[in-house]
Structure 1
Amino acid sequence: MDPFRRTDIIILCDLCKTAHLQSHCERCHINLCQTCVGKHLSDSSIRHTVVPYKYRKYLNYSKCPDHADELCKHYCEKCDIPVCSDCISSGKHGGHDISNILEKHSSQTESVQKDLEELETRIYPRYEEMASDVQTEKAKLEKEYGKLTTIADQQGKILHREVTAIVNQRKSDIQEMENKHLSTLNKNTDEITQKITELKQIISNLKSILKSNDVSLTTTYKCRNSEFRTLPSKVPITLPSFTPEKINKDQLNEMFGSLSPLSINTEHGDTMKSAEAVSSPPVKPLLDEPRLAVTIKTGYIYLTSVSCLNEDQVWTRGDNEIMKLLNLQSKLLISIKTKSGNRPWDIAVTRDGDLVYTDNHNDTVNLVKNKQIHTVITLQGWEPRNLCSTASDDLLVTMISDDREQSKIVRYSDSTEKQTIQFDDQGRALYSCDPIKYIIENRNLDICVADNGARAEVVVNQSGKLRFRYTGHPSNTKQAFTLHGIATDSQSHILAADCQNNRIHILDQDGQFLRYIHCDLVTPHGLCVDIRDNLFLAESDTAKVKKIQYLQTQC
């Protein structure tokens, strides 16, 4: 017997109204024949759930609280409650919009499905990631606080050495004074002893004269008493004294060094954008055809970097030790020679508008403020290479070890090391040992590195966890993917300079390729984006800076 046919009723497809039903869509709560299933599933905007009719889920209607024998198969949109037929006919909901409870159930089911998907795919993984980050931070505690304890011990030893040196100096001074005092007394003693010896001799001679009754001796005698009436001078010496200074504990504590307070931010965490907000169109869509707006001549033979001071002025560095600030008309505004006379490896502009540069010859990072150069970081065992300034006014510096065996990124606040990024969760090196690694912080606080040695964009999150690697788009690639510049804009796009292929790759914040910028580029070798999302690009071989518009200025 047909399982869907009874002696008194035949259940038909809700769409065609002619064929026997075979299936049921639990999303839309309609019965479907075999032919209509395909038609129903053609609407890809809705996630349908079609099952054999006999396996369908039965809906449990709630009983009406006002009419005990009635089920609530309708929904009052104004009152936002399920209602039964008697509620509607009673006039209590007169003038209200009444819908089928199945339609409400269907739309709510879709919302629940979307919420579940967002929780499972976006929100929950972020919480897991944060929990993992906290565990990582906890694992670092002993090491980091151990460093502080070691520094305190070292400072204590230094202070102890200084105190010991002072004590030994004072003791040496005392011994020197004692020796000088004793020498003076010995000299005085020798003089008196000599006079005593002479006096003894004179006294003996006089006694001999008196005893002899010799007229010649008596008549020739000369008195010398006046010579000895003036006694030898007695040297007055005042003993030195030691007056200990009262030890001021506060001054001693200040002299020892200060410990910055532990800062624990108790503010609320970042709010994730909803799935709808994340997938919404960008505020500034990409132009179909990027256009060249300005070309700046730098005067270098070979140009390597450009960094925006503002929308009208850019800092550049090239083949010599001079860093130049130029306007859009190629006019030289300021030139700064490096402190060491060496060619800088990279330049960047801080949030305050100051120039910073790395000098890999003497392993320093230097700040140029009011045309004065200050060395803010000096490395030991590592060479600083590329750098950038972050939204929090930290510095991110790429560096390689002196033996060229290791590579890492270090975050500095002023001159204090705050974070080191070197390995992934499996302990593998994140970066190659190639010295060329342009770096930028994205608007979403990801740290993006153009790693030329790895031929990849390596992107980690704020905590240093690997998010993705981009190794180039396969279309129309003539030469290897070579990376000599990176930038980001207000839309969190990542722009990568592909030097040998003479183009710029534009990625979204998740590493998906969007399109190229060509604009007749020649060896792009450094990128930056100004506050209006104009791209400034350094061409190494022509030594020109090109200003390119690639985003729509109005939505």
Structure 2
Amino acid sequence: MYHYGSLLPEFCTSTGSWTMELRRRAKDVLQCHLCESPDPPMYCDICQTHLCKPCVGEHISDESKKHKVGVFKKQEKQGSRAKYRKCSPNEHEAETSIIESQRQVIEKDLQELEKCILPRYQVMASNFPIQKEELQKNSQKLKNAIDKRRENLNLILTTIYLRLKFNLRKMDAIILGALNRQEEENNKAISGITTNIENMKKILNSNDERLFSTYISKNSEFKNVPPMLNISLPKFTHHQIEEELFEEFGSLSSFKFSYRVDSPWAESSLQYRPLIKEPRVIKQMDTEYGDTNLLHTLSCLSSHNDEDTRIWTCGDDDKLRLYDLRGELVKSVPTKSGNRPWDVAVTKSGDLLYTDYKEKTVNIVKNSQIQTVVRLPRAWEPVALCVSSTGDLLALLDCDDKDETKVVRYAGSSEIQSIQYNSIDGEPLYPYTACHTHICENRNLDICVSNCGSGTVVVVNQAGKLRFTYTGTPSTIEEPYMTWFNPYGIATDSHSRILVADCSSRNHPYRIHILDPDGQFLRFIDNCQLQGQMSLSVDKNDNLYVAEWESGKIKKIKYC
């Protein structure tokens, strides 16, 4: 119930005069032309109609005439009536127009789609052909095993043989169908994102107020990226013939589907971090390294809280050292053999891996206990390593006897992939130079290898096919020298940018090259007083850590 007594003027003593007063006051209250809401803040100059904000879009959607909508402001009351006038431009210089406010929303959405969401779908799209190829290879391998087994048995086993082949085809069909369905859904999402990007660019390139006012963000439809289908492929196993022929012939293990969200697609990757104008050192740590004990390698033990990040290091002695961001030594672990470690990496669970060049082993440190993970054949030696997004170990191996270099992928202690030759011309991908080399996996699953001896950065995709070779920017080619690009440490960040330490100072200061995922040069970091040969590591928050070999210093650099 509303009490109107306070509204009654002293002279309104009769019912008739009170009714007339209410009608007069109703006329004083402006209403939205469409929904009749009181005190509408907007006004169309062309149509001379008052509008509330929710009705602006509907009003300007009438394309039969032009519209010019502005803000109206209520004047001070004069007598008993409220007067309205259109606001002057100067009174609203500080207010954001509809177009400008919507422009900011669209530009933010566009940047999120182009820089963060679309690349995640593109990584998934690039992985489908690889999975299909693995499925085909595995299927062929199983068929060969089944055929070989069949040749050793009598024709009585034909029925069992045909049954197994049928089951295999059925499994292949189910797996391939699942892959095709997810691939189709992924392609639809990419198509939808691309169309959305084009529409947003069209809006941004126009001054059509209707388009800006009616824009509705669709980014939420694409943010929930479906997890990647992970297939545990069937295996063929056989047994000695004893009693039942069917069991002794062998059987196919069952396959299973599982989905994973790998670290490259963590939620932090949705935070787009453009390169800043002036990179800067935000922290510098002194260590025990330097002079006769050079600081060769570092690897971040990342934390979501920057201050909790730890850094594993190794140098010329037999110690593996863990430092905090104050430069204080947290832990020191001697190697198992007493040899100097050649490279270090941190597993997804936070354990430390290191290479022993002389013992030809890769070892893991768990709770200060050291176990050998991989022992290499006599001719091969591990020189660099990293941990992939799937938890596999990627090791860069040298063979002194044959002057060869290759990349090998290990699942636990088992070799599952070897990358050595260019699939197009058969030439070695990695020149053997007996110089320092480094390896890392990019966010898009590419494998990046730097070689200071050949002056190259070689990047292959997950299947081992060459994507590009980077040999430095044109500015590094100066007469009378052919090139002085001297890459040492290498790392990648959450946006698949590649960072390479250039340790040649003949014609320029020590610096770091930043490349895009396709090997295009973006910029240098050359203003941070970097010194000598450097190893690089990037944490979860895209902070760059630089280990200077000779000074023994670790620099934390903000570059994006």
TM-score of Structure 1 vs Structure 2, range by shorter chain: 0.5 to 0.7
Distance 1:351 1:264, change over 3 A: farther
Residue 547 of structure 1, aligned match among 544, 548, 556:
556
Residue in structure 2 matched with residue 430 of structure 1 by the alignment:
429
Structure-2 separation of matches of 1:147 and 1:383:
33
Name the aligned partner's letter for residue 430 of structure 1.
L
Matches within 5 A, 1:429-508: 429-435=428-434, 436-475=436-475, 480-501=484-505, 502-508=510-516
Equivalent runs, 1:56-455 vs 2, <5 Å: 97=63, 138=136, 266-267=178-179, 268-269=182-183, 271=186, 273=190, 283-301=272-290, 302-310=294-302, 311=306, 312-380=309-377, 381-425=379-423, 426-435=425-434, 436-455=436-455
Unaligned runs of 5+ in 1: 1-94, 100-122, 151-260
Q: Report the TM-score when normalising by structure 2.
A: 0.52
1:522 corresponds in structure 2 to 531
**Partner amino acid for 2:524?**
Y
Q: For 1:484 and 1:147, how far apart are their aligned partners in 2? A: 45
Structure with higher Rg: it is: 1
Summarize the Cα distance change of 1:340–1:305 in structure 2 as closer, same or farther, 3 Å threshold.
Answer: same
**Which whole-Å deviations, capped at 9, do the CAs of 1:524-552 have from their partners, x for residues lacking one?**
4210011111100010110111110001x
Residues 142 and 383 of structure 1, relative CA distance in 2, 3 Å threshold: farther
Instruction: Give the corresponding residue for 1:535.
Output: 544
Choose 530-539 or 396-405, whichever is displaced more: 396-405
2 CA distance for matches of 1:129 and 1:308? 27
Give me the whole-angstrom Cα distance separating, in 2, the residues matched to 1:504 and 1:523.
12
In structure 2, stretches of 5+ residues that fail to align are: 1-60, 66-120, 149-170, 202-269
Give the structure-1-normalised TM-score.
0.53
- Whether the 8 Å contact between 2:130 and 2:463 is mirrored in structure 1 is no
Shift of the 390–277 alpha-carbon distance from structure 1 to 2, 3 Å rule, reads farther
User: CA–CA distance in 2 between the matches of 1:472 and 1:492?
Assistant: 18
C-alpha separation between the residues in 2 aligned to 1:490 and 1:471?
Answer: 23
- Measure, in 2, the Cα distance between the counterparts of 1:145 and 1:375: 35
Residue identity matched to 2:295? L
Secondary structure at 2:474 match in 1 = coil
Identity of aligned residues (%): 43
In the alignment, the residues of structure 2 paired with residue 291 and residue 448 of structure 1 have an alpha-carbon distance, to the nearest angstrom, of: 25
User: Are the counterparts in 2 of residues 282 and 491 from structure 1 also a CA contact under 8 Å?
Assistant: no
* Cα distance in structure 2, aligned partners of 1:134 and 1:525: 40
Q: Are residues 401 and 506 of structure 1, via their aligned partners in 2, closer, same or farther at CA, if it must alter by over 3 Å?
A: same
1:328 & 1:127 partners in 2: Cα distance?
39
Deviation of 1:339 (Å): 0.4
What amino acid is the match of 1:503? Answer: R
CA separation of 1:512 and 1:362: change in aligned 2, threshold 3 A:
same
**TM-aligned CA deviation for residue 440 of structure 1:** 0.8
Deviation for aligned residue 1:481: 1.0
Does the 8 Å CA contact 1:496/1:506 hold for their aligned counterparts? yes
Given residue 405 of structure 1, which amino acid in structure 2 is its aligned partner? D
- Rounded to whole Å, the distance in 2 between the matches of 1:529 and 1:428 is 32
Name the SS of the counterpart of 1:288 in structure 2. coil
Q: Deviations over 1:497-522 (max 9, x none)?
A: 11123100000111110100121100
Aligned counterparts of 1:283 and 1:339: Cα–Cα separation in 2: 42
Within 2, Cα distance between the matches of 1:146 and 1:454?
Answer: 41
Q: Tell me the distance in 1 between the aligned counterparts of 2:559 and 2:458.
A: 23
Distance 1:513 1:277 in 2: 29
Aligned equivalents of 2:133 and 2:443: distance in 1?
Answer: 25
Distance verdict in 2 for CA 1:465–1:137, change over 3 Å: farther
Distance 1:359 1:476 in 2: 34
RMSD, aligned CA: 3.8
1:83-141: CA deviation from partner (whole Å, max 9, x where unpaired): xxxxxxxxxxxx86479xxxxxxxxxxxxxxxxxxxxxxx99x9999769856875687
The change in CA–CA distance for 1:433 and 1:534 in structure 2 (over 3 A counts) is: same
Shift of 1:278: 9.5
Deviations 1:326-382 (A, max 9, x none): 111111110011100000110011111110001110110000011110001001031
Is 2:476–2:485's contact at 8 Å kept on the other side of the alignment?
A: no
Give the CA deviation at 1:276: 7.8
Residue aligned with 1:289, SS: coil
Question: Could you say which structure has the greater relative contact order, defined with CA pairs below 8 angstroms and 6 or more residues apart?
Answer: 2
**1:179-228 CA distance string (max 9 Å, x none):** xxxxxxxxxxxxxxxxxxxxxxxxxxxxxxxxxxxxxxxxxxxxxxxxxx
Q: Which amino acid aligns with 2:310?
A: Q
Q: Distance in 2 between matches of 1:303 and 1:264?
A: 48
| 1:369 to 1:512, Cα distance in 2 relative to 1, 3 A | same
Cα pair 2:125 2:186 within 8 Å, conserved: no
Cα distance in 2 for partners of 1:407, 1:145 equals 33
Write the letter of the residue equivalent to 2:459: V
- CA separation of 1:455 and 1:284: change in aligned 2, threshold 3 A: same
Change (3 A) 1:264 1:496: farther
- Alignment CA distance shift 1:264-1:441 (3 Å): farther
Which AA in structure 2 matches 1:417?
E
Distance in 1 between the 2:145 and 2:437 partners? Answer: 29
CA contact (8 A) 1:133 1:463 kept: no
Comparing 467-476 with 138-147, greater Cα deviation is found at 138-147
Q: Distance in 1 between matches of 2:327 and 2:538?
A: 18
After TM superposition, where is structure 1 displaced by more than 3 Å over at least 4 residues in a row? 95-99, 126-150, 261-267, 269-282, 476-479
Task: Label 1:368 to 1:329 Cα distance change in 2 as closer, same or farther (>3 A).
Answer: same
CA distance in 2, matches of 1:328, 1:385: 27
**1:458 corresponds to which letter in structure 2?**
V
Q: Which amino acid counterpart does residue 516 of structure 1 have in structure 2?
A: F
**Corresponding pairs, count:** 327
Q: Which amino acid aligns with 1:396?
A: L
CA contact (8 A) 2:295 2:552 kept: yes
Shift in CA distance, 129/290, structure 1 to aligned 2, threshold 3 Å: closer
Equivalent position SS for 1:306: strand
Q: Which amino acid aligns with 1:418?
A: I
